[in-house]
């Protein structure tokens, strides 16, 4: 998803394309072929890609154009994304049940084509801090829906932002909102209207960069995901996936806003939360999320 580890290891190619292992492409291709002859609910992880529900008439055993494009893309790629197979499987298990759905992804990276293809006929958008990178990716994959965004925070401010949230009423869970909330420094403001107007079923936080002091860090993304989940009006929970929980800031902010009690799975460096709407909680007042 993100590019920071790849940059540090010196494997970031000049054309900055996003990639996935050829073995995954083979699994997807095999799943589509197999499902044309064998109708079963769930033979393997990626076999069910071909069996995704579709409100637009894409039947069982039929691959959508984006899925076919993803097969070709990853079969001809040589660099893998940051999440490993087990971590990706956590999100895919949810997508199998919820797709087509509204899927918000913080970060535009090597696995963006994969996430879009795993939510066929759904609404998958990507938020990326580097506008030049957005242009590069969309030039090669115009089917992806990505928005360049700006963050108001820096990683070195993480501790100060926690103190600010605890003393600023507009950050309190009972009053928190995002669009136009300039008083709360953790609220993501100035984003595209679609970000605010859509009720997200899944939120993946694998960006922005958070490995050097001047980087935006993921503090605001984590806080805002919690606010959106708590403000959910539709049925069910909001699934939030946070990557790089081995880093202090990600872990601290996840425990503060996404809450340990909502953590349902931990695989590698990925945490999966199922956050209920505040309307379904017996008590949701006060100044703390957890």
pLDDT at 8 over 80: no
Contacts of 59 (CB under 8 A, 6+ apart): none
pLDDT at 286: 67
* pLDDT tens profile 159-205: 999 999 999 999 999 999 999 999 999 999 999 999 999 999 999 99
pLDDT at 279: 86
Q: Give, in order, the Cα–Cα distances in Å from 200 to each of 182, 251, 269, 277, 289.
A: 22, 22, 23, 12, 19
pTM of this structure: 0.81
pLDDT at 19 over 50: no
Omega cis (within 30) before 103:
no
pLDDT at 61: 58
pLDDT at 72: 87
Residue 65, Cβ neighbours under 10 Å: how many?
Answer: 11
pLDDT at 3: 53
* pLDDT tens profile 37-75: 333 333 344 444 444 444 443 334 578 888 988 888 888
DSSP string, 56-120: TS--TT---HHHHHHHHHHHT-----SS-HHHHHHHHHHHHHH-S-EEEEE---TTHHHHHHTST
77 or 119, greater pLDDT: 119
Contacts of 189 (CB under 8 A, 6+ apart): 152, 178, 179, 180, 181, 182
Average pLDDT over residues 207-216: 98
């Amino acid at each position: 998803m993100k590019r920071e580890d790849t940059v540090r290891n010196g494997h970031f190619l000049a054309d900055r394309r996003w990639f996935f292992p050829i073995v995954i492409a083979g699994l997807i291709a095999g799943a589509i072929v197999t499902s044309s002859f064998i109708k079963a609910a769930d033979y393997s992880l990626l076999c069910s890609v071909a069996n995704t529900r579709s409100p637009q008439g894409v039947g069982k055993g039929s691959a959508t154009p984006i899925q076919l494009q993803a097969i070709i893309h990853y079969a001809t790629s040589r660099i893998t994304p940051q999440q490993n197979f087990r971590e990706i499987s956590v999100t895919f298990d949810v997508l199998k049940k919820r797709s087509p759905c509204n899927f918000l992804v913080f970060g535009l990276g090597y696995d963006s084509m994969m996430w879009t293809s795993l939510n066929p006929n759904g609404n998958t958008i990507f938020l990326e801090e580097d506008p030049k990178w957005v242009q590069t990716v969309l030039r090669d994959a115009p089917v992806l829906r990505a928005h360049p965004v700006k963050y108001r925070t820096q990683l070195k401010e993480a501790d100060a932002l926690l103190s600010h949230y605890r003393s600023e009423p507009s950050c309190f869970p009972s009053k928190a909102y995002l669009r136009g909330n300039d008083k709360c420094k953790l609220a993501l403001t100035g984003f595209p209207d679609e970000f605010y107007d859509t009720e997200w079923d899944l939120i993946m936080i694998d960006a922005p960069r958070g490995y050097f002091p001047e980087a935006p860090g993921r503090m605001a993304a984590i806080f805002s995901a919690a606010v959106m989940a708590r403000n959910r009006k539709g049925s069910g929970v909001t699934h939030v996936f946070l990557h790089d929980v081995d880093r202090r800031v990600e872990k601290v902010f996840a425990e503060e806003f996404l809450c340990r009690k909502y953590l349902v799975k931990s695989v590698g460096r990925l945490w999966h939360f199922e956050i209920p709407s505040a309307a379904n909680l017996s008590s949701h007042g006060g100044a703390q999320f957890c």
